[in-house]
A and B are shown apart, each in its own frame.
Chain A
């Protein structure tokens, strides 16, 4: 076993070969066997061919981050066998179905140096012998993998039966293929006999992606309309919202572009329901004019900005956290906004709920940042966190009768004016994208426009006082504090457990930002005044959160650990960095 207290299985093949289905079956079976897993996907932006993998890191404790290297490679295509062979750890083991593979000189060197063991399974032949078809060679491979892990056949067999419950004609052949693989007599590999600790019990957790959690969080928060235009990595929110639309009754519509999407959402929010939109960087670019409109007309607006590497089309199916500046500075003119970010599975569910409350109370655009790494990774979740209570902050009941049109954009100390909905009261107003007076009437007068601009900006101060400070995770006292946001927190937290136990004198903690803007600074100032060593860790080139912190506090990070190659921070990246071995980044 490696020294990371986890085992890593990489299931690889071509796009379209069903590697995600295999991955999910294996992850589920591991969960039922009592383990915790984290599922990480790498795949190209195409439908058939190329090479892709679904990687499962698992252990006897919760995991939320991926490894760079794996212990076991399950290869179901020739290309993937060669592509991922070098990513194996020392003593790595390969199961493949590629008839007579030819390894290059360089590959032979790797195999020798890392003491890699390779096992070939005639999986197509085995599938046919078991009464199955060519595609069922995948199931043969899973059976063999399961045997290799030394786990109970019954657990995974039960799962295969559940998966094919609605296809009874294929059920028997699949179960037979699984058993055929399980009974395979390995020539080269030895069983891994996985056993982290003895008190492992069957677990009934859910396995789902960050996008699933976000969609569920939105539905729980009373979102009744979802508009989107497909763009990776936000697209699976759209498809999942559509899949559950008969259970939820939510109106889920793909519209003709992101501008329509943003406008329709602003229209629906203005009318008074809760509407959500999600997109990625390029789509958000198209929405930005509407973000500015929402701010000016004080209409709540919530958009998910699911990040992937840019600029332009960039790498559509890969990860990054390079759009914080876009969220912070998008839209013309100056206005108040709020930027939040997801990180772990809990926040994937709750942040969207907070976003709607803030958007409605402050009547501002709220941008919720996620990343492909959160959006599409498979998290193991025991139960959903508690829901955030819905706060609509609307004028209600008899108060609706006492309104005047000029209440709608009334100049108040907090900057927040009463909000009511079309059709609710006799007091009617115009929500005006032109600068306006308290009832929305257009104005270009110097004093009146200044007062209204100040009123809107006042909301930022009120908001800053309401939102919480960043959270310090880990030991109170530490030799250094890592500062981060987004999915990076998951790698940092997983590594923290490993590192701090082994290096108590070099223990670190994490200052994690879920609320990115406006920026709360009390904890930062405390750390700065104590001269605490702080290291910035971000999945982008500029160190965008770091630059925001510098802009607000004047503090400059001495050390920055930045990564922007389309990959998330792997556990090994951070460990090497802590050991002073980092070469590629920063």
Chain B
């Protein structure tokens, strides 16, 4: 990352992302690992806290908004991607990262995920997929498996679940990755790949929820996840490949950068009226003489 506006030239440090506020998540919650990995990835990429805008959804992950360094926005349930997209177009010098759960992202705010991908906004998005609504005490989400008994669904879930990766890949994304909250090393390298991508990077984190998701706990994932990097010659530029390899969510669950379009053109580079403009929208708020435009109506 380039130097920040506040002029600090030192390298980013892990401690810079420290917050004195105490975490309020359950013991063994996947969120701890995700926070730790995110801080590590940012430091590895030399992104200082004052250069980041971390955008949080409402949900368990969002309750971490005041427990990490950086500029942060803790918005509305399901709306975090739309907010992040708006922030990303205004200032390219700030790294915009958004976090959302499976509830807010694939239920209430699914259209914003679609918009973020289709527009290829310069946002890294982390999907905390723990297969339930944790903060409202364990109701079903769009990824909860059919038949499972949840809070408010005593007879079991009767909806077909959304397969997040199949859905995302159908939208022609430029970056789609999957990782696991139990593997900090893998998360760090995946987040780093996302941070280096130009455009919308979608990263699904398979996240354990020790309190409400008893069907697929930490150990369940641990036995099943396999890194695509361990495959010989995995071609992440092939969308069909990505669709095939990401399909299995039961036996052999593939993690890693499943798909990336290296020719990705991010949102602002697609705007014809901004191609020759060097400044950011945040630098341009000043009086504009509209006299000539007005005269056209004479």
A439 → chain B closest CB, angstroms:
8
Pair A260/B82 contact, Cβ less than 8 Å? yes
Residues of A within 8 A of B70 (CB): 428
Q: Is A255 an interface residue (CB 8 A)?
A: yes
Residues of B within 8 A of A507 (CB): none
Pair A220/B288 contact, Cβ less than 8 Å? yes
State the CA gap A227–B267 with chains docked (Å).
14
Pair B6/A400 contact, Cβ less than 8 Å? yes
Pair A206/B298 contact, Cβ less than 8 Å? yes
Q: Is A522 an interface residue (CB 8 A)?
A: no
Interface string of B2-16 (1 = CB under 8 A from A): 001110100000000
Q: Is B231 an interface residue (CB 8 A)?
A: no
Residues of B within 8 A of A51 (CB): none
A118 → chain B closest CB, angstroms:
35
A347 → chain B closest CB, angstroms:
16
Pair B86/A267 contact, Cβ less than 8 Å? yes
Q: Which residues of B (110-146) have their CB < 8 Å from a CB of A? A: 111-112, 114-115
Q: Is A16 an interface residue (CB 8 A)?
A: no
Residues of A within 8 A of B74 (CB): 297, 430-434, 440, 442
Return the chain B residue nearest A384 by Cβ: B294
Given contacts A423-B5, A425-B50, contact A267 B82 (CB under 8 A): yes
Query: Which range contains the number of B residues in contact with the other chain?
Result: 35 or more
Pair A249/B284 contact, Cβ less than 8 Å? yes
B13 → chain A closest CB, angstroms:
13
Interface string of B30-72 (1 = CB under 8 A from A): 0000000000000000000111110100100001011001111
Pair A384/B71 contact, Cβ less than 8 Å? no
Q: Is B76 an interface residue (CB 8 A)?
A: yes
Pair A220/B94 contact, Cβ less than 8 Å? no
Q: Which residues of A (164-205) have their CB < 8 Å from a CB of B? A: 204-205
State the CA gap A431–B284 with chains docked (Å).
24
Count contacts on A: residues with CB < 8 A to the other chain: 69
Pair A251/B89 contact, Cβ less than 8 Å? yes
Return the chain B residue nearest A227 by Cβ: B86
Which one of A240-248, A498-506, A563-571 is at the interface? Answer: A240-248
Given contacts A249-B284, A425-B6, A429-B72, contact A268 B293 (CB under 8 A): no
Q: Which residues of B (184-220) have their CB < 8 Å from a CB of A? A: none
Which one of B160-168, B234-242, B245-253, B270-278 is at the interface? Answer: B270-278
Pair A255/B115 contact, Cβ less than 8 Å? yes
Pair A260/B50 contact, Cβ less than 8 Å? no
Which one of A66-74, A272-280, A334-342, A447-455 is at the interface? Answer: A272-280
Return the chain B residue nearest A246 by Cβ: B273
Residues of A within 8 A of B89 (CB): 225, 251, 264, 268
Pair A275/B287 contact, Cβ less than 8 Å? no
Pair A273/B281 contact, Cβ less than 8 Å? yes
Given contacts A426-B50, A434-B74, contact A263 B83 (CB under 8 A): yes
Pair A224/B285 contact, Cβ less than 8 Å? yes
Given contacts A251-B271, A384-B290, A423-B50, contact A207 B297 (CB under 8 A): yes
B283 → chain A closest CB, angstroms:
8
B134 → chain A closest CB, angstroms:
16
Return the chain B residue nearest A380 by Cβ: B297
Return the chain A residue nearest B17 by Cβ: A428
Q: Is A55 an interface residue (CB 8 A)?
A: no
Given contacts A251-B274, A400-B6, contact A267 B87 (CB under 8 A): yes
Residues of B within 8 A of A266 (CB): 75, 83, 86
Residues of B within 8 A of A270 (CB): 73, 83, 86-87
Residues of B within 8 A of A431 (CB): 72-74
Q: Is B170 an interface residue (CB 8 A)?
A: no
State the CA gap A433–B285 with chains docked (Å).
26
A184 → chain B closest CB, angstroms:
30
Pair B85/A273 contact, Cβ less than 8 Å? no
B150 → chain A closest CB, angstroms:
25
Pair B285/A392 contact, Cβ less than 8 Å? yes
State the CA gap A389–B289 with chains docked (Å).
12
Pair B290/A428 contact, Cβ less than 8 Å? no
Pair A272/B282 contact, Cβ less than 8 Å? yes
Pair B297/A274 contact, Cβ less than 8 Å? no
Residues of A within 8 A of B91 (CB): 271-273, 421-423
Pair A275/B297 contact, Cβ less than 8 Å? no
Residues of A within 8 A of B71 (CB): 422-423, 428-430
Residues of B within 8 A of A289 (CB): 76, 79
Pair B69/A428 contact, Cβ less than 8 Å? yes
Q: Is A366 an interface residue (CB 8 A)?
A: no
Residues of B within 8 A of A260 (CB): 82, 85, 111-112, 115
Q: Which of A222, A244, A272 contacts B90 (CB 8 A)?
A: A272
State the CA gap A390–B50 with chains docked (Å).
27
Q: Is B27 an interface residue (CB 8 A)?
A: no
Return the chain A residue nearest B285 by Cβ: A222
Residues of A within 8 A of B292 (CB): 247
A449 → chain B closest CB, angstroms:
15
Q: Is A216 an interface residue (CB 8 A)?
A: yes
A-B CB proximity, top 7 nearest: A267-B86, A264-B86, A263-B82, A271-B90, A206-B297, A267-B87, A422-B71
Name 6 extra pairs, CB < 8 A, besides A257-B111, A273-B91.
A221-B287, A221-B288, A250-B273, A256-B112, A271-B94, A384-B294
Q: What would be 29 A-B contacts, judged by CB atoms less than 8 Å apart? A: A206-B294, A208-B294, A248-B288, A249-B273, A251-B273, A260-B82, A260-B85, A260-B112, A263-B76, A263-B79, A263-B82, A263-B112, A266-B86, A267-B55, A267-B73, A269-B86, A270-B73, A271-B90, A271-B94, A273-B284, A293-B79, A390-B286, A400-B6, A423-B6, A425-B6, A426-B8, A428-B70, A428-B72, A430-B66
Residue ranges of A at the interface with B (Cβ–Cβ < 8 Å): 204-208, 212, 216, 219-222, 224-225, 227, 244-251, 255-257, 259-260, 263-275, 289-290, 293, 297, 381, 384, 387, 389-390, 392, 400-401, 421-426, 428-434, 436, 440-442
Residue ranges of B at the interface with A (Cβ–Cβ < 8 Å): 4-6, 8, 21, 49-53, 55, 58, 63, 65-66, 69-76, 79, 82-91, 93-94, 111-112, 114-115, 268, 271-274, 277, 280-282, 284-295, 297-298
